[in-house]
């Protein structure tokens, strides 16, 4: 069965940002290094080196807490564009071995090496060569998983970090995956694992041995996905065409009158978030980064972004992120003349890795959003809106532009009207 052949490689860089900094500055090597937004601020840890992890520091931990746990750590302000450059160099290395490379995040990628044997050897040989090349060219280590599919490759790369190389064959699922607690299954988040545990389902094996109908009865269609995860089944393909997905979807509005009114701003942001969310769902995409653009009345412009730990296509998530960005960046009482909401880090909703992330979201929100979409499909875009968008007796007229920087869609036009 060719399906069971080891053809998929998942590569995950070890402590990526911290390792890059250690490589760039020899004084940081072998020392606890913590990369974060603002070393003196209230942000969170982006990446901790393995030396810092030994003190219990991990990513997403508040910087203040990291300082408490590891006062001797060297805090470094992250340089995202530099990390992106290194990330692109890594992709170039991978593409020497196979054209089928799917960037998964800034420090992870899937490779399909089917048909590359004659030129480069089997998956294990290719993975070994890549590890050597990455180390020699960039001074970085990575952990590699090799498996018949993306799901298992992804789980394998996580099993021996750092600098690991782990193989999971189809016949290894029972011995390697089934003993894992449910929360260790890739894609199963806190909500799902709690729900499973409350049913007495504690391991992946317990899920796999359950009749799938029972899981469907409990979790809907996601039940089947959970069952597949536990069985190591994944039919999604390595998608090297990922860059065909638009790079961003955004809308912006020029206010008819410059404003410093909080309510006015919030209503614009909500409306923009709804339009952006709607287009994400129409194109069956999900996004991970929300960017807010503000232009003051003197034309100074700022853009600030926030990246979720999950993918979303829900208006509410986009709105809440934009709102947070507004309040943390708006220098009041300065008047604003233009506001924009854009989502980036887009991905196809179909990918198995995103599906459960959607499931993890508040179910009520999903249902409300789906219901609103159905009404709009039938009666038009302005048929329904959230109550807080409408203030009795008030009329705000706005001109708006909408644009797609992506390749798949042409120049979108959309006037924003409330
Ligand atoms: Mg990593």
What pLDDT does residue 48 have? 96
Residue 195 Cα to ligand 1 midpoint, Å, equals: 28
Mean pLDDT in residue range 284-301: 92
Determine how β-strand 45-48 pairs with β-strand 33-36: antiparallel
CATH T-level topology, domain 1-168: Alpha-Beta Plaits (3.30.70)
Spatial neighbors of 215 by CB under 8 A, at least 6 apart, are: 207, 223, 224, 226, 227
Distance CA 80, CA 307 (A): 13
What pLDDT does residue 357 have? 53
Q: Where are the domains of the chain?
A: 1-168, 177-231, 245-404
Determine how β-strand 74-77 pairs with β-strand 33-36: parallel
**CB contact at 8 A, 382 and 229:** no
Burial classification of residue 241, based on how many CB atoms lie within 10 Å of its CB (0-12 exposed, 13-18 middle, 19 or more buried): exposed
DSSP 360-416: HS-HHHHHHHHHHHHHHHHH-TTS---GGG--TT----EEEEEEE-SSSS-------
> Three-class SS of residue 78?
coil
Mean pLDDT in residue range 31-56: 92
Per the annotation, the verdict on 171 as an active-site residue is no
CATH superfamily of 177-231: 5' to 3' exonuclease, C-terminal subdomain (1.10.150.20)
Residue 10 Cα to ligand 1 midpoint, Å, equals: 11
Q: What is the mean pLDDT of the chain?
A: 86
CATH number assigned to the domain covering 245-404: 3.30.1490.100
Pair of tokens at residue 392: 């009795």
Comparing 20-24, 285-289, 409-413, the range with the smallest average pLDDT is: 409-413
What pLDDT does residue 372 have? 79
Distance CA 340, CA 299 (A): 14
Instruction: Indicate the angle between helix axes 222-231 and 352-360, nearest 10 degrees.
Output: 130
Longest dimension (CA), the chain: 72
**CB contact at 8 A, 240 and 99:** yes
**CB contact at 8 A, 343 and 293:** no
What pLDDT does residue 310 have? 76
Confidence of residue 415 (pLDDT cuts 50, 70, 90): very low
pTM: 0.68
What pLDDT does residue 174 have? 97
pLDDT, greater one: 118 or 179: 179
Residue 46 Cα to ligand 1 midpoint, Å, equals: 11
Residue 267 Cα to ligand 1 midpoint, Å, equals: 38
Pair of tokens at residue 263: 């309510």
Q: What values do phi and psi take at 120, rounded to 5?
A: -125, -5
Cα 145 from chain centre: 20
Pair of tokens at residue 283: 């194109």
What pLDDT does residue 40 have? 86
**CB contact at 8 A, 32 and 14:** no
Confidence of residue 184 (pLDDT cuts 50, 70, 90): very high
**CB contact at 8 A, 116 and 124:** no
What pLDDT does residue 57 have? 97
Residue 142 Cα to ligand 1 midpoint, Å, equals: 8
User: If you ran DSSP here, which 8-state letter would residue 202 be given?
Assistant: -
For residue range 188-226, what is the model confidence (pLDDT) as tens digits?
A: 888 889 999 999 999 999 999 999 999 989 888 788 889
Spatial neighbors of 88 by CB under 8 A, at least 6 apart, are: none
Pair of tokens at residue 410: 């042409």
Q: What values do phi and psi take at 168, rounded to 5?
A: -120, 115
Comparing 140-144, 173-177, 412-416, the range with the smallest average pLDDT is: 412-416
Q: Is 293 left (phi over 0), alpha (psi -120 to 50) or beta?
A: beta
Confidence of residue 360 (pLDDT cuts 50, 70, 90): low
**How crowded is residue 406: how many other Cβ atoms within 10 Å of its Cβ?**
19
Pair of tokens at residue 140: 């970085």
For residue range 317-344, what is the model confidence (pLDDT) as tens digits?
A: 999 999 999 999 999 899 999 999 999 8
For residue range 250-259, what is the model confidence (pLDDT) as tens digits?
A: 999 999 999 9
Which residues are near ligand 1, the ion (C-beta closer than 5 Å)? 12-13, 107
Of 51, 102, 108, 360, which one is the catalytic site residue?
108
The candidate with the shortest Cα–Cα distance to 143, out of 129, 124, 157, 125, is 157
> Three-class SS of residue 71?
coil
Burial classification of residue 397, based on how many CB atoms lie within 10 Å of its CB (0-12 exposed, 13-18 middle, 19 or more buried): exposed
Residue 14 Cα to ligand 1 midpoint, Å, equals: 5
């Amino acid at each position: 069965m060719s399906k069971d052949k080891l053809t998929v490689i998942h590569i995950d860089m070890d402590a990526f940002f911290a390792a890059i900094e250690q490589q760039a500055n020899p004084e940081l090597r072998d020392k606890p290094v913590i990369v974060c937004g603002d070393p003196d601020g209230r942000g969170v840890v982006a990446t901790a080196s393995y030396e810092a992890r030994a003190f219990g520091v991990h990513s997403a931990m508040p910087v203040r807490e990291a300082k408490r746990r590891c006062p001797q750590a060297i805090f470094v302000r992250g340089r995202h564009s530099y990390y992106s450059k290194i990330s692109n160099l890594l992709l170039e290395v991978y593409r020497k071995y196979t054209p089928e490379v799917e960037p998964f995040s800034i420090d992870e990628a899937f490779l399909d090496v089917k048909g590359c044997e004659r030129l480069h050897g089997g998956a294990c040989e290719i993975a070994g060569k890549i590890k050597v090349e990455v180390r020699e060219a960039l001074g970085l280590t990575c952990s590699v998983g090799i498996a018949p599919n993306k799901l298992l490759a992804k789980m394998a790369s996580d099993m021996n970090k750092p600098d690991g190389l782990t193989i999971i064959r189809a016949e290894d699922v029972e011995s390697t995956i089934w003993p894992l607690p449910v929360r260790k299954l890739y894609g199963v988040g806190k909500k799902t694992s709690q729900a499973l545990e409350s049913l007495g389902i504690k391991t992946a094996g317990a899920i796999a041995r359950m009749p799938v109908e029972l899981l469907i009865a409990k979790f809907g269609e996601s039940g089947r996905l959970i069952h597949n995860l536990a069985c190591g089944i994944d039919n999604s393909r390595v998608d090297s065409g990922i860059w065909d997905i638009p790079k961003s979807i955004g809308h912006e509005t020029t206010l008819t009158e410059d404003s410093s009114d909080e309510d006015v701003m919030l209503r614009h942001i909500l409306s923009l978030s709804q339009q952006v969310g709607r287009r994400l769902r129409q194109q069956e995409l999900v996004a991970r980064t929300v960017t807010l653009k503000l232009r003051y009345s003197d034309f100074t412009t700022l853009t600030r972004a926030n990246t979720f730990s999950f993918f979303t296509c829900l208006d509410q998530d986009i709105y809440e992120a934009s709102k947070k960005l507004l309040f943390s960046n708006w220098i009041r009482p300065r008047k604003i003349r233009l506001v924009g909401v854009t989502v980036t880090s887009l991905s196809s909703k179909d990918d198995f890795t995103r599906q459960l992330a959607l499931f993890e979201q508040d179910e009520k929100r999903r249902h409300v959003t789906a219901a609103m979409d159905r009404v709009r499909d039938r009666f038009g875009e302005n048929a329904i809106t959230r109550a807080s968008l409408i203030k009795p007796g008030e009329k705000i007229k706005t001109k708006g532009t909408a644009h797609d920087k992506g390749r798949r869609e042409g120049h979108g036009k959309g006037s924003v009207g409330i």
